[in-house]
Amino acid sequence: MSTLRFHALKETYNHKPVPVEEKHRRSEIFGANVFNEETMRQYVTSEAFESVRDAIKNGAKIDRAVADHVSTGMKEWAISKGATHYTHWFQPLTGATAEKHDAFFEPTDGGRAIEKFGGGQLVQQEPDASSFPNGGIRNTFEARGYTAWDPTSPAFVFGTTLCIPTVFVAYTGEALDYKTPLLRALQAVDSAAVAVCKYFDKNVRKVNASLGWEQEYFLIDSGLAMSRPDIMLTGRTLLGHSSAKGQQLDDHYFGTIPNRAMAYMRDLETECMLLGIPVKTRHNEVAPNQFELAPIYDEANLAVDHNSLLMDVMDKVAERHHFKVLFHEKPFAGVNGSGKHNNWSLGTNTGVNLLSPGKTPMSNLQFLTFFINTIKAVHENEELLRAAIASASNDHRLGANEAPPAIISVFIGDQLTKTLNELENVTDGKLSPQEKTDLKLNVVGKIPDVLLDNTDRNRTSPFAFTGNKFEFRAVGSKANCANPMTVLNTIVANQLIEFKAEVDALIDKKEMKKDDAIFNVLRDYIKKSKTILFEGNGYSEAWEKEAKKRGLSNNKTTPEALKAKVSKQTIAMFERLGVMNAIESESRYEIEMEEYMLRIQIESRVLGDIARNHVVPTAVRYQNILIENVKGLKEIYGTSFKTLAQEQLNLIEDISGHIKGINSKVTEMIEARKTSNNIANLEKKANAYCNKVKPLFEEIRYHCDKLELLVDDELWPLTKYRELLFTK
Ligand code: ADP
Ligand code: MG
Residues lining ion ligand 2 (Cβ < 5 A) are 341
Rounded to the nearest angstrom, the distance between the alpha carbon of 340 and the centre of ligand 2 is 8
Cα 389 to chain centroid, rounded? 7
Looking at ligand 1, which residue's alpha carbon is closest to its atom 19?
Answer: 297
574 Cβ contact partners less than 8 Å away, ≥ 6 residues apart: 181, 490, 580, 581, 584, 585
Strand-pairing partners, residue 86, are 102, 162
Report helix, strand or coil for 323.
strand
Q: How far apart are CA 299 and CA 590, in angstroms?
A: 30
Give the pLDDT of residue 195.
98
The two beta strands, 323-326 and 161-170, are: unpaired
| pTM greater than 0.75 (yes/no) | yes
Give the pLDDT of residue 452.
55
Give the pLDDT of residue 139.
56
Rounded to the nearest angstrom, the distance between the alpha carbon of 470 and the centre of ligand 2 is 10
Buried-exposed string 222-231: b where 16+ CB fall within 10 A, e elsewhere: bbbbebbbbb
The per-residue DSSP string of 582-628 comes to HHHHHHHHHHHHHHHHHHHHHHHHHHHHHIIIIIHHHHHHHHHHHHH
Q: How far apart are CA 277 and CA 317, in angstroms?
A: 15
Give the pLDDT of residue 186.
97
Give the pLDDT of residue 142.
44
In this prediction, the residues of the chain whose per-residue pLDDT falls under 70 are 1, 23, 128-131, 136-143, 254, 401-402, 446-457
Rounded to the nearest angstrom, the distance between the alpha carbon of 297 and the centre of ligand 1 is 7
Ligand 1 atom closest to 345 (CA): 24
Looking at ligand 1, which residue's alpha carbon is closest to its atom 7?
Answer: 466
**Helix/strand/coil (H, E, C) string of 20-56?**
CCCCCCHHHHCCCCECCHHHHHHHCCHHHHHHHHHHH
Of 106, 121, 187, 117, the residue nearest 152 (C-alpha): 187
Ligand 1 pocket test, pick from 253, 292, 297 with the greatest ligand atom count within 8 Å of Cβ, gives: 297
Give the pLDDT of residue 138.
55
pLDDT, tens digit (0-9, with 9 covering 90-100), for 146-159? 899 999 999 999 99
Give the pLDDT of residue 140.
44
Q: Which residues line ligand 1 (CB under 6 A)?
A: 210-212, 214, 294-297, 341, 343-345, 353, 466, 468-469
Region at 398 (left for phi over 0; alpha for psi -120 to 50; beta for the rest): beta
Report helix, strand or coil for 125.
strand
Tell whether the torsion through CA atoms of 70, 73, 79 and 82 is positive or negative: negative
Whether the Cβ atoms of residue 351 and residue 208 lie closer than 8 Å to each other: no
Of 293, 216, 93, the residue nearest 478 (C-alpha): 216
Rounded to the nearest angstrom, the distance between the alpha carbon of 534 and the centre of ligand 1 is 21
Looking at ligand 1, which residue's alpha carbon is closest to its atom 23?
Answer: 345
Rounded to the nearest angstrom, the distance between the alpha carbon of 420 and the centre of ligand 1 is 24
Q: How far apart are CA 298 and CA 344, in angstroms?
A: 10
Strand-pairing partners, residue 221, are 323
Rounded to the nearest angstrom, the distance between the alpha carbon of 212 and the centre of ligand 1 is 6
Looking at ligand 1, which residue's alpha carbon is closest to its atom 1?
Answer: 214
Ligand 1 atom closest to 296 (CA): 16
Domains of the chain: residue spans and CATH: 31-177 (3.10.20.70), 186-580 (3.30.590.10), 595-726 (1.20.120.1560)
Residue 104: count other Cβ atoms within 10 Å of its Cβ.
18
Ligand 1 atom closest to 353 (CA): 23
Whether the Cβ atoms of residue 163 and residue 87 lie closer than 8 Å to each other: yes
Q: How far apart are CA 606 and CA 603, in angstroms?
A: 5
